[in-house]
Structure 1
């Protein structure tokens, strides 16, 4: 039985169509499906258990278009963690990673940043990686961020991402007491390695 309950605010940021909504949908419903473009922000909540602590994750999914950029700033205020997404197969989407990482560092210095490459199944199915790993690692070190690679289509690493966010927050809040040792936690500059393959047409949300 859990003894403690804490709230954790998570915000998803990134270029339009990188798959932010798909990540949330996979985590909430363990399904992959067509999703609509997010207008402004959409809220979901999910419970996670870390040791003897029950964590309520309040997840804010934000729009990726330029006209909502100022609005998105209101969503990341007082957030505990930020998932900054980019498409592993699309170099253009990487530009927003450094933009949001810089914004978050300047305006929310205590926030934990998670740089998340999406559509991992496309890479596993033969698509070329648009951003070299070394560049991602260098950016993560600069902003003291964590690195993940996910596929919403296969579900690879999506639940691990949110569980790690919850565990890291509990460690930060409780100084690591009564918490499990999560061997899959990412250290700075280390991507999650996966082997599972699946089929997906480029341009979709995964």
Structure 2
């Protein structure tokens, strides 16, 4: 059973927090079983540099979900990420928001404490009211929680679609991913 379900997902955050590494790890590092229903994630990896801010804001429209990345070893990235979120919410206040702490392997490898208080991050995530699991600690180097992040996001988008258009989704949602060779997209396999 083929489906044309697709969701636009933005990867947002300041420069050098690991946004592109997160996308690369997700797109190229997984292979799972055959599909019966598909949902395509249109992932837009945005620049975190200020000189491209106006261009990035043009991408904010018609976005179902956004993953906001920050580096827990860099307090400045946390503050910049909040500023990016505020700008995003002005244009697209109804999108689902997922906080993504990147580079958690650095904290474990070097036995460092995060510069950003984990309780503060969780409080902020809870204040977003975007679902049960809106904050994930990831590592692109180790692949930690990356598939879980995208699975959760996809399931949430599908659940919203099921509520508004139940005829579109009348099967149990179980997400699997398929390894893709192209950089442009990766499809989730649902059954």
What TM-score does the superposition give when structure 2 sets the normalisation length? 0.78
Superposed, 1:125-136 pairs within 5 Å as: 125=109, 126-136=111-121
| Relative contact order, higher structure (CA 8 A, sep 6+) | 2
| 2:149 alignment counterpart | 161
> 1:14 offset after TM fit, Å?
0.6
Contact 1:97 1:115 in 2 (8 A): no
Contact 1:87 1:119 in 2 (8 A): yes
Unaligned runs of 5+ in 1: 32-47, 183-206
Residues 136-165 of structure 1, C-alpha deviation per residue, up to 9 Å, x if partnerless?
122123322411110000011111111111
Find out whether 1:138 has 2:123 as its counterpart.
yes
In structure 1, how many angstroms separate the alpha carbons of the residues matched to 2:154 and 2:34? 8
Contact 2:8 2:65 in 1 (8 A): yes
| 2:185 alignment counterpart | none
In 2 relative to 1, CA 178–49 (structure 1 residues): closer, same or farther, beyond 3 Å?
farther
Contact 1:16 1:63 in 2 (8 A): yes
| 1:77 alignment counterpart | 61
In structure 2, how many angstroms separate the alpha carbons of the residues matched to 1:110 and 1:156? 28
> 1:53 offset after TM fit, Å?
3.6
> 1:76 offset after TM fit, Å?
1.8
Contact 2:10 2:63 in 1 (8 A): yes
What TM-score does the superposition give when structure 1 sets the normalisation length? 0.73
For this pair of structures, how many residues does the alignment match?
A: 164
In structure 2, how many angstroms separate the alpha carbons of the residues matched to 1:180 and 1:129? 35
| Counterpart secondary structure, 2:17 | coil
> 1:169 offset after TM fit, Å?
0.3
Contact 2:60 2:91 in 1 (8 A): no
In 2 relative to 1, CA 141–179 (structure 1 residues): closer, same or farther, beyond 3 Å?
same
Match of 1:105 among 60, 75, 89: 89
Match of 1:152 among 119, 140, 144: 140
Unaligned runs of 5+ in 2: 164-168, 176-191
In 2 relative to 1, CA 139–49 (structure 1 residues): closer, same or farther, beyond 3 Å?
farther
> 1:103 offset after TM fit, Å?
2.1
Contact 2:8 2:63 in 1 (8 A): yes
Segment drifting more, 69-78 vs 98-107: 98-107
Residues 29-68 of structure 1, C-alpha deviation per residue, up to 9 Å, x if partnerless?
119xxxxxxxxxxxxxxxx999x64110110001111111
